[in-house]
């Protein structure tokens, strides 16, 4: 899940203090209440009326979103790398079947529905090509983990791991380059790890409704292993660097059919 508002869920109380809980009661679509168009649910929430508003806006947003998805798939080296990695893993992506632009809860920008092996791009919140690219990369990491690692979406440690990987390879890798000017290497490393932990926690809490304490415990337990697992990108991607094309160029070294 790609979370828009990083403040969400903060201040939640720990209901049970059960840090050893590993199973979460959710469907294949993590945080399914965030995606009212899924599962045939009726859209009756007040935010929907507020945020969608005028008629006709919805289909315009959808067309723009689909156009951005198409551009990312045609142009972005990192998205092409992910598509190649998915194909090599036996999970080839058909963009019409596996990527869907929909109206979502404004707190999220994207999601992955493992029941249908579909990425949801939120047409009302993931606005613009670079945001859509961020969502696609993040959700494709989940798709890859589901395909390659037999991700169990009811296991909180599996979910924590894939959110750590998605934050590490996506969102937080952009952040690390922004800090390089005024930080020592040690600081960058710590700040980067904190970024990954925070981002993963927000996604995990939004998807599973677990408390802050349960989310922290799950993330800490799997952090080192999952933080160091850089497949299929091989290196963290930094903004304004050559890493994106380089990772793409090196794809063949990992055995990906680009
Ligand atoms: Zn996620």
Q: What string of DSSP letters covers the chain? A: -EES-TTTTTTPPPSS--TT--B----SBTTGGG-TTGGG-----HHHHHHH-STTHHHHHHHHHHHHHHHHHHH-HHHHHHHHHHHHTT----HHHHEEEE---TTEEEEEETTTTEEEEETTTS-SHHHHHHHHHHHHHHHHHHHHS---TTBHHHHHHHHHHHHHHTHHHHHHHHHGGG--HHHHHHHHHHHHHHHHHHHHHHHH---HHHHHHHHHHHHHHHHT--TTTSS---TTSSHHHHHHHGGGGGT---
Which residues are registered as beta bridge partners of 100? 120
Residues tagged active-site: 139
Q: In angstroms, what is the span from residue 55 Cα to ligand 1's centroid?
A: 30
Q: In angstroms, what is the span from residue 234 Cα to ligand 1's centroid?
A: 19
Average pLDDT, the chain: 79
Q: In angstroms, what is the span from residue 142 Cα to ligand 1's centroid?
A: 7
Low-confidence ranges of the chain (pLDDT < 70): 4-28, 30, 40-56, 174-186, 235-258
Q: In angstroms, what is the span from residue 139 Cα to ligand 1's centroid?
A: 6
Q: What is the pLDDT of residue 12?
A: 38
Q: In angstroms, what is the span from residue 136 Cα to ligand 1's centroid?
A: 10
Q: What is the pLDDT of residue 223?
A: 97
Contacts of 85 (CB under 8 A, 6+ apart): 144, 231, 232, 251, 254, 256
User: Is the bond leading into 9 cis (omega within 30 degrees of zero)?
Assistant: no
């Amino acid at each position: 899940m790609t979370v828009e508002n990083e403040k969400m869920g903060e201040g939640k109380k720990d209901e049970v203090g059960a840090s050893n809980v590993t199973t979460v009661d959710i469907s294949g679509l993590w945080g399914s209440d965030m995606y009212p168009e899924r599962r045939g649910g009726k859209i009756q929430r007040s935010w929907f009326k507020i945020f969608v508003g005028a008629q006709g806006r919805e289909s315009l947003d959808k067309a723009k979103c689909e156009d951005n998805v198409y551009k990312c798939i045609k142009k972005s080296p990192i998205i092409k790398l992910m598509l190649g990695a998915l194909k090599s893993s036996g999970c080839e992506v058909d963009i019409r079947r596996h990527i869907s632009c929909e109206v979502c809860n404004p707190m999220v920008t994207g999601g992955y529905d493992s029941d249908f092996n579909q990425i949801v791009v939120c047409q009302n919140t993931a606005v613009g090509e670079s945001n859509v690219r961020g969502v696609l990369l993040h959700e494709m990491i989940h798709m890859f983990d589901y395909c390659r690692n037999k991700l169990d979406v009811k296991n909180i440690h599996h979910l924590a791991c894939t959110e750590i990987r998605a934050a590490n390879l996506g969102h937080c890798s952009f952040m690390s380059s922004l800090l390089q000017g005024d930080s020592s290497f040690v600081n960058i490393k710590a700040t980067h790890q904190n970024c990954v932990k925070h981002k993963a926690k927000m996604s995990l809490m939004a998807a599973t409704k677990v408390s802050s304490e349960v989310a922290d415990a799950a993330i800490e337990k799997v952090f080192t292993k999952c933080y160091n697992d850089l497949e299929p990108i091989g290196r963290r991607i930094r903004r304004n660097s050559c890493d994106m094309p380089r990772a793409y160029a090196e794809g063949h070294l990992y055995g990906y059919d680009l």
